[in-house]
Amino acid sequence: MGGYNDQFLMHSKNAGDSYEMPGMKKSINFVFARSMAIGFIVNLSMMVLSGCGGASMSGKTGPGPGVPDGSGVAGFQAASTQQWVQQFGLGSIPNTQAPQNTLVGVAVDSQGNTIVGAYTDGAYPGFSDSSFSAEDVVAKFDPTGKQLWLQEIGTGQGDFLTGIAVDAGGDTYAIATTSGAFPGYSNPSGTQQGVIFKLDPNGKLLWLQQLSALSEGNPQSIAITSNGDVIVGFQSLSFSASGASPNGFLLTKLNGATGQSLKQQSYASNEYTLERLTVDGSGNILIIGNGGLPGYTNTNPSAPLVVKIDGSTGDILWGQSLASYLTSEGMILFGIATDSQGNVVIGGATATSTQTGISLSYDPAPSAQCILAKLASTTGSAMWVKQFGTGAGDQIYSVAVDASDNVLAAGTTLGVFASPYTQPQDLDFVVKFTPGGQDTWVQQFGNGLILNVSVNGGPQVVVDTLGNLLVGGGTQGAFSGFSNPKNAVEMFLAKFGP
C-alpha cells in the first residue's frame, strides 16, 4: 500500500504517464466474489470462442400479458460512431501472476469528462502495494480520452470498490468495502466494513467515512440526487452458525458536502437481494433486486423485483415483480436508469439462476437472451418489454437514457447482431432504442478475447450531455494500438457518438 496523502492511504498519478496494456485468454471460468464473497457470487462461464459464427437476430414475441414483445428487434442496423478506445492496467506482478483490474462503474461530469471506478490487486506507477491486496482505483479522462489523473486508495487489508457517482459540480463519490481500517478508524477483528469517500474534480480526497456501524451489510450501489444528497444501498445480512443470509436491504442518505448521515431506513426480508439503484428527477429511489419484500411478494423467489421508494419518507411506492416474464431459463437484471418522465428502464438477461443463501449463481449459457424493458413511473407497469439475441448467448449489463429519452444498453455477445461484425472478434456491444422501444442501431466491438466478469464488472454505459456514449469494461486482449503480451486482466474505456 502507498504512503499518506491528506492523511489517507492514497496516491495520484497525472496525465502523460504510460502503462503497459495487457489482454485475455480464449477460455476462462472466472468466479468473482464481490467484496470478499459477501455479496452476489457470479459465475459467468463463457464458452471457448471458436466457431462462433454469424448467428441471426431473433426477437421473442407473444400475444398476451407477461410475454416479452419482440417487435422492433427483427434486425438491428449496424452503425459506426466509435471515436476512440483506451486500455489501461498493470500488465503483470511478481511470480508471473496477472493482477485483477476490475472496472465496476463509469460516470460522466457536466464537462464531458469520464470517471472510472475499479479495484486492482497490484499497484500503479507511483503507488506501492507490497501485500498485493485489492485497492480502490478512480481515474478521470477528458473528452478526447486523455487521462487527467488516477488515484489508488487502500488499507492494505483488502479494499473493493463497488460503485461510483458524480454530482453536478464534478465531484466523485465512491463506495467500497474494506477489511482494514483507514486512519481515524479501527477494525481489530478485520471484519468487512463499508466505506464511502469523496474526491474533488482534481482527484483530491475531501472526506472518507468508514461505516463500522453498518458492518452487517455491504454497499452495493450509489446515486446522487439533484440537490446533491448521496444515496447508498446496502445489502443487509444476518449471521448464524450456518453462515450469512439475506436480510433485506438498507438505504442511507448522506449530505454530499460533509458526508454526514441524514437518514437511514431498513427494509427487512429474508429473501430480497439488492443489486443496483438509481434516482429520478424528484429524488425518488428505484431499485432492482431478486426476491420479495413484505407486501410485495414474488411468486418466484429468484425472480427480479423492481421497487420505487419515496426519497423523502422512505415509503415504498410500488413494487413490480417480473415473475410473469420469466422464461424457462429464468431472468436476472443488471442495469437500471430513469428517463425525463421518471419512467424506469431496466436491462438484463435470461439465464439459469440459483439462489443459495446470499449467493446468486448465474450461468448465461448459449441460450441466454437480452432483456430490456421500460416501466411506468407511477405504477411500475410495463410500457414495453423486449427479449432479443443472436442465439449464441447475449447479456445486457448496464443501461442509460439520453436527453431525448432514447434507451442505450451495453453487454456481451458470442454471436453477430448485424453485418459486418464477426466472431470471435466483436464480443462487446451497445444498442440504441427509441423511447417507444424501436431499435435504432447496434455496434459491436472488441479484440477477440472477452473477460468473464462480475455483475458490476460487465460493460458499463453512460451518456454525456451531448449524447455521446462512454462504455467501460474488462478484457484480457489488446485493442488496436495497445499491447498485452501476458494476457493480463485490463480495463478499457471507449467513446461512441450519438
For each successive 10 residues of the chain (498 residues), what is the average pLDDT? 37 38 26 29 29 33 39 71 93 55 93 95 68 85 97 90 96 95 90 93 96 71 97 79 70 94 88 91 95 80 88 95 73 94 95 44 65 96 92 92 98 91 92 96 87 60 97 91 86 95
What is the number of other CB atoms lying within 10 angstroms of the CB of residue 352?
A: 16
- Pairing type for strands 352-356 and 359-363 reads antiparallel
Give the single-character DSSP code of 160.
E
* Contact criterion met (CB below 8 Å) for 129 and 157: no
CA–CA distance, 364 with 327 (Å, rounded to integer): 13
Phi-psi category of 181—alpha, beta or left, where left has phi over 0 and alpha has psi -120 to 50?
Answer: beta
Position 371: which residue type?
I
Instruction: Please report which helix (H) or strand (E) contains residue 444, including its range.
Output: strand 439-445
Q: Supply 290's cell numbers.
A: 431478486
Q: How much of the chain is in helix, strand and coil states, percent to nearest 5?
A: 0, 50, 50
What is the number of other CB atoms lying within 10 angstroms of the CB of residue 212?
A: 13
pLDDT of residue 73: 47
Closest Cα partner for 471 from 489, 495, 450?
495
51 Cβ partners below 8 Å, 6+ apart? none
pTM: 0.84
The CATH homologous superfamily for domain 4-496 is: TolB, C-terminal domain (2.120.10.30)
Backbone angles phi, psi at 34, to 5 degrees: -60, 135
62 Cβ partners below 8 Å, 6+ apart? 68, 69, 70
The DSSP line for 255-304 is -TTT--EEEEEEE--SS-EEEEEEE-TTS-EEEEEES-BTTB--SSTTSE
pLDDT of residue 132: 63
For 190, 195, 218, 248, 363, the CA distances from 211, given in Å and listed in that order, are 13, 6, 10, 18, 33
pLDDT of residue 65: 34
CA–CA distance, 160 with 40 (Å, rounded to integer): 14
The C-alpha angle 200, 203, 206, rounded to 5 degrees, equals 45
Length of the chain measured in residues: 498
Backbone angles phi, psi at 214, to 5 degrees: -110, 25
CA–CA distance, 474 with 390 (Å, rounded to integer): 22
pLDDT of residue 300: 72
Domain segments of the chain: what residues? 4-496
CA–CA distance, 142 with 204 (Å, rounded to integer): 17
Q: Please list, residue by residue across 252-262, b when 16 or more beta carbons sit within 10 angstroms of its beta carbon and e when fewer do.
A: bbbebeebebe
- Pairing type for strands 243-254 and 230-240 reads antiparallel
* Contact criterion met (CB below 8 Å) for 277 and 233: yes
pLDDT of residue 365: 55
pLDDT of residue 50: 29
CA–CA distance, 351 with 43 (Å, rounded to integer): 12
pLDDT of residue 195: 94
pLDDT of residue 218: 84
pLDDT of residue 318: 96
